[in-house]
Structure 1
């Protein structure tokens, strides 16, 4: 019997930062892990204006799949930032809405405990259409209106699976730029938030939604954004 092929999904989360040693100490204290790795932010990225950030990699398969995805991303309005085709088993893009994302041929499973993925963008409909076409992700038919926090459209990596994230509109919110934000599961949100502040990070929240789910949006001392959430609250977000 031939098993069904799963659509591509996020499989690696790497921090690209200006101070690897300080970032490692911060995340060891806050999360008790370092995601799937911490790398220095390349000088060319800094020259383009890039800030430290968590970079999510979508696993797309081997055998030329990464190079194929370079062509497909560019056809849908993205900018290929590197490496050149045929050089590495990954590629980094600025998607059509301006968010940075990567694809990879590395099949290793993530140990980052990321349980929710949020794409902030000026054009949620275009973003949903692009990611659906590129990866086969399944988007909810209707949006959720969270007032001051914008309108959100949830998605699953595959039809029939639980929602794993959302595309969020940022129109009218000039303080928010297009980006992917990854929420790490923590045993206690309040304790994790206290650790962020103690280690000189910044925190927005905790924010409580109408369904009882609580999240916090944070920045580490170098300026990389990340989210925190308790695992059971990620389930509440998936259920609406």
Structure 2
């Protein structure tokens, strides 16, 4: 499991509006998690009890630090404390020290040496079988994780050391440079590249599977979101579009159908 993206979380300024928007765009249902002491909701695909992503409001402290609405990915690790320490030792930053979520697991918020933020997570595994999960390409699942780095080659070397990621196909993007796919010995799970000069800072972005890209674009626009790039076809005959939700969080969509 180590090195796999296992959870995604939206921090926003308006939970109700975000729940409505992503329900319309991605087909998700949203329900309160029932966690004690905090307002935390779960997005899930209809017909599946296993949550797909989390939703919470930016705290006053986060807003004071001018943290904008954002999506964050959680990567599974065998030891959160040791891996957070490794991030720091290799030039990264521990933004939130490891701590427990009662009944859920242990996590930390870290940044890589170039500043992109990601979460480390070790879940508490329940007794008995896990609830059924949708196939990886089912609409509403997350289909891809993407890093826009200050230096793509250096970023890959760092994450390979941290998570054991391996190089997959390298796509020549012409003037934009090399887009390096990566995986864990099986199919590619994401890609990374040196960011274009007009991208202000390194960041991780996440792609949600949809049934057809053009129809999804119309739902984004109808819900008050903004399309900032695409639709465009990418290697593998997939179509992608990159967007901002109405609160300003960056997200992307991917489909094998136009």
Instruction: Give the distance between the partners of 2:62 and 2:174, measured in 1 at CA.
Output: 34
| Cα shift at 1:225 | 0.7
- Sort the Cα spacing of 1:216 and 1:150 in 2 relative to 1 into closer, same or farther, 3 A: farther
- Sort the Cα spacing of 1:69 and 1:214 in 2 relative to 1 into closer, same or farther, 3 A: same
Ranges in structure 2 where 5+ consecutive residues have no aligned partner:
29-42, 44-51, 135-139
Instruction: Give the distance between the partners of 2:81 and 2:236, measured in 1 at CA.
Output: 42
Q: Is the 8 A contact 2:87 2:111 kept in 1?
A: no
Instruction: Give the distance between the partners of 1:167 and 1:107, measured in 2 at CA.
Output: 30
Query: Quick check: 1:155 aligned with 2:182?
Result: yes
Q: 1:166 maps to what in 2?
A: 191
Query: Quick check: 1:189 aligned with 2:213?
Result: yes
Q: 2:35 maps to what in 1?
A: none
Instruction: Give the distance between the partners of 1:44 and 1:72, measured in 2 at CA.
Output: 27
Ranges in structure 1 where 5+ consecutive residues have no aligned partner:
1-5, 234-240
Instruction: Give the distance between the partners of 1:90 and 1:220, measured in 2 at CA.
Output: 26
Instruction: Give the distance between the partners of 1:146 and 1:72, measured in 2 at CA.
Output: 32
| Cα shift at 1:92 | 0.5
Q: 2:147 maps to what in 1?
A: 119
* Deviating more after overlay: 38-47 vs 73-82: 38-47
- Sort the Cα spacing of 1:148 and 1:189 in 2 relative to 1 into closer, same or farther, 3 A: farther
- Sort the Cα spacing of 1:169 and 1:67 in 2 relative to 1 into closer, same or farther, 3 A: same
Q: Is the 8 A contact 1:117 1:183 kept in 2?
A: yes
Instruction: Give the distance between the partners of 2:198 and 2:151, measured in 1 at CA.
Output: 14
| Cα shift at 1:36 | 1.3
| Cα shift at 1:180 | 0.7
Instruction: Give the distance between the partners of 1:106 and 1:41, measured in 2 at CA.
Output: 23
- Sort the Cα spacing of 1:149 and 1:192 in 2 relative to 1 into closer, same or farther, 3 A: farther
- Sort the Cα spacing of 1:211 and 1:37 in 2 relative to 1 into closer, same or farther, 3 A: closer
As a proportion of its length, which structure holds more strand?
2
Instruction: Give the distance between the partners of 1:211 and 1:85, measured in 2 at CA.
Output: 38
Q: 1:128 maps to what in 2?
A: 156
- Count residues with an aligned counterpart: 219
Q: Is the 8 A contact 1:143 1:152 kept in 2?
A: yes
Instruction: Give the distance between the partners of 1:131 and 1:27, measured in 2 at CA.
Output: 30
Q: Deviations over 1:116-165 (max 9, x none)?
A: 1110011111211111111111113x632223554211100x12x01111
As a proportion of its length, which structure holds more helix?
1
Counterpart of 2:53 in 1: which secondary structure? coil
The partner residue of 2:64 within 47, 57, 60 is 47
What RMSD over aligned residues (CA atoms) do the two structures have, in Å? 2.2
Counterpart of 2:61 in 1: which secondary structure? helix
| Cα shift at 1:52 | 0.7
Q: Is the 8 A contact 2:98 2:107 kept in 1?
A: no
Query: Quick check: 1:206 aligned with 2:231?
Result: yes
